[in-house]
Amino acid sequence: MDDDLRLARAASEAALATEGVHALGTGRYAEAATYGPGEKVVGVVVNPNEVRVHIIARYPPPEPLPALAERIRERVAQRAQGRATTVVVEDVEVSPVANL
């Protein structure tokens, strides 16, 4: 359980540190989060076989969304301890600095 939380935190930090990520998503029908005693990491779901990261991309994205998602996936996969890594682009948010 602690390992899952640690992994979720690491994945969250890795995803948020990627340029083009506005925030982590919360899921649509069910909350996308990893739960631990007294704590939860929203936006990352850690299963025994998979680490799934939900992101909200910044608009305009610095690169095409598939490339951005792939970059996040690679970064998170380095911390995923061999589990399959999935990235879900949940939304696109206009950046406040974007002059649109």
By CB under 8 A, tell whether 46 contacts other proteins.
no
Nearest distance from residue 38's CB to other proteins, in Å? 30
Position 23 contacts other proteins (CB under 8 A): no
**Interface with other proteins: number of residues (CB under 8 A):** 20
Sign of the CA dihedral with 70 first, then 46, 91, and 30 last: positive
Q: Name the minimum Å distance from CB 2 to other proteins.
A: 26
List of residues contacting other proteins (CB under 8 A): 28, 61, 63-70, 73, 84-92
